[in-house]
Amino acid sequence: MRKINQSEINDVAWRACDTFRGVVDAENYRNYILVMLFWKYVSDVWRDHRDAYAKEYKGNQERINRRLSRERFQLPDGCDFLSIYALRNETDIGERMNVALAAIEEANKAKLEGVFREVDFNSENKLGRTRDRNTKLKLVLEDFADPRLDLWPSVVGEEDVIGNVYEYLLERFASDAGKKAGEFYTPGQVSKLLAILLNPKKGDTICDPACGSGSLLIKVGRQANERDFALFGQEMNGTTHALCRMNMFLHGMDNFRIEWGDTLRNPRLFEGDHLLKFDIVVANPPFSLDKWGHDSAEADPFHRYYRGLPPKSKGDYAFITHMIESAREGSGRVGVVVPHGVLFRGAAEGKIRQKFIEENLLEAVIGLPANLFFGTGIPAAILIFNKGKTHGDVLFIDASRDYKDAKNQNVLTDEHVDKIVATYRAFETVEKYAYRATAQELADNDFNLNIPRYVDTFEEETEIDLKAVKKEINQLEKELTVVRAKMQAYLEELGV
């Protein structure tokens, strides 16, 4: 069997989007394509395993069915992708697709309940009138019937091809989605940086309380190198919550708990009267979220805001506070992406920030380049908190000038990531790049964490030798006099 590469599979999957692109808005066609991808993969694995069992048990249907009943996902008869593909010319193909997905969801209720809730293949509002809708659905079924995509099950365990193509599509959709992109996707290199900085270990519990499509959470889990870890998350947007769960399954990370709901108003990861505690808490929450739940925060049943209430119009410190309160006492680590205002804004935020520092929770402040994130060009920073700190200092890193220019946004290369990580692990001052500040220095700066207060990146201009410049000017004037004299002589010879 010919083994095709990741890039070729990515291209085949992306070309399937052409059926919807320009006809269905980006947010909606994203959902259709990713559900098709999931459906095709589950069907391919089911078919491959069924055929293997049929061969192993020499067609004994009872034994085949017994083995199939222990599969990761169950596919009722007639609900797999190829069965529906065979009906692609039917006039009610949209309804047939809906019925098949509903049956798959029902047969796998514990895992898949609600996963397909936002996708209606028979929607006139989203896919057009019957004839146009049927044409689109026939084309997309044919796109996913490309025989090159039948190779996924044979290579997925070795290279995680299906998980990679899902990530590839998410990133492409994010680049098309403008301001909405930040709601569901964190750029891959930023996720990688956070994963390495937090350094997950075997057996860790890892949580993202604003998990979006789950890409950041998966990256942190993968950094553990062993599958002995558990992933937790919460996502407010129902569509994105469904994408996240499919993303987990396609990466083979079945040991997860992803809740649907508003983390700040209604945290779902709790036990009794207290929040669940995790070894690692990581997030790229929405920047400066307005109307985050200030009105009810004072009566928070989990007492998260005892250090002070964040301002009504900016929820940054509400997310940070929730994350710190969700980290395991004595050892939990927190990594969060924030806008720079979090580092220096005063009033209530300044008081909360001061308490974090006085409690010796803050470990590092890392300034990132501008235009790294989808949907916003503003520079961001990463804050690392550590409930197991053994010293009182804070490391500041100014990585804002290290990036690669790309077409629509800047990118962190592996070299830039390695430099940040090496500096963080060394935890020492590096001229023009990093500074290790003491608790007293932070207090002397009124607990302001603005990076330029600590990392001096000013480059002195080279001193100008005025005597040498004057000498050079005089020499140039002499040469110009000679040239002018020659030009005048030539002009006179020409009678001009």
What is the extent of the structural domain holding 396? 179-453
Same domain assignment for residues 254 and 401 = yes
Summarize the confidence of residues 459-473 as an average pLDDT: 75
Instruction: State the DSSP string of 52-111.
Output: HHHHHTTT-HHHHHHHHTTSSS---TT-SHHHHHTTTTSTTHHHHHHHHHHHHHHHTHHH
- Return all residues near 166 (Cβ < 8 A) that are at least 6 apart: 34, 37, 246, 247, 250, 251
Instruction: Judge whether 244 lies within some domain.
Output: yes
As given in the structure block, the two tokens for residue 479 are 């040469």
Instruction: Judge whether 165 lies within some domain.
Output: no
- For the chain, the 3-state helix, strand and coil shares in percent, each to the nearest 5, are 50, 10, 40
As given in the structure block, the two tokens for residue 61 are 């249907």
Integer distance in angstroms from the first to the last C-alpha of the chain? 83
For residue 363, the cross-strand partners are none
Instruction: State the DSSP string of 314-362.
Output: --HHHHHHHHHHHBPTTT-EEEEEEETHHHH--HHHHHHHHHHHHTT-E
Q: Answer positive or negative: Cα dihedral of 145, 167, 101, 127.
A: negative
At residue 155 the predicted structure's pLDDT band, cuts being 50, 70 and 90, is very low
Instruction: Judge whether 29 lies within some domain.
Output: yes
- The rounded distance, in Å, linking the Cα atoms of 322 and 385 is 12
Identify the DSSP state of 21.
Answer: B
As given in the structure block, the two tokens for residue 423 are 């500096």
Q: In terms of pLDDT, which residue wins out, 252 or 390?
A: 390
- Highest mean pLDDT range out of 227-241, 251-265, 405-419, 435-449? 435-449
pLDDT, tens digit, for every residue of 429-444?
Answer: 999 999 999 999 999 9
Maximum CA extent, the chain: 111
* Domain CATH number, residue 93: 1.20.1260.30
Of all residues in the chain, the percent with pLDDT exceeding 90 is: 64
pLDDT-wise least confident of 75-79, 85-89, 323-327, 472-476: 472-476
- The rounded distance, in Å, linking the Cα atoms of 229 and 175 is 31
CA neighbor of 126 nearest in space, from 116, 137, 139, 115? 137
- The rounded distance, in Å, linking the Cα atoms of 137 and 119 is 13
State residue 157's pLDDT score: 43
Q: Whose structure tokens read 């990861």? A: 269
Instruction: Judge whether 211 lies within some domain.
Output: yes
Instruction: Judge whether 365 lies within some domain.
Output: yes
Q: Answer positive or negative: Cα dihedral of 448, 451, 456, 461.
A: negative
CA neighbor of 349 nearest in space, from 323, 327, 316? 316
Same domain assignment for residues 237 and 377 = yes
Same domain assignment for residues 306 and 356 = yes
Q: In terms of pLDDT, which residue wins out, 125 or 322?
A: 322
Same domain assignment for residues 386 and 442 = yes
Same domain assignment for residues 476 and 375 = no
Q: Give how many domains the chain has, as a whole number.
A: 3
Residue 2 pLDDT more than 70?
no
Same domain assignment for residues 267 and 372 = yes
Strand 333-339 and strand 380-386: the pairing is antiparallel
pLDDT, tens digit, for every residue of 363-395?
Answer: 999 999 988 887 677 889 999 999 999 999 999
Same domain assignment for residues 187 and 147 = no
Instruction: Judge whether 290 lies within some domain.
Output: yes
Instruction: Judge whether 150 lies within some domain.
Output: yes
| CA 105 to chain CA centroid, nearest Å | 26
Same domain assignment for residues 437 and 468 = no
Identify the DSSP state of 278.
Answer: B
Continuous segment of H or E residues that includes residue 421: helix 414-426
* Domain CATH number, residue 215: 3.40.50.150
Residue 266 pLDDT more than 50?
yes
Q: Whose structure tokens read 């000013």? A: 458
Same domain assignment for residues 322 and 264 = yes
As given in the structure block, the two tokens for residue 53 are 């069992």
Same domain assignment for residues 366 and 428 = yes
Residue 73 pLDDT more than 90?
yes
Summarize the confidence of residues 267-276 as an average pLDDT: 94
As given in the structure block, the two tokens for residue 124 are 């006139």
Q: What is the mean pLDDT of the chain?
A: 89
Domain final residue pick, 154, 169, 189? 154
Same domain assignment for residues 280 and 378 = yes
Instruction: Judge whether 164 lies within some domain.
Output: no
Same domain assignment for residues 470 and 449 = no
Q: What is the pTM of this model?
A: 0.85
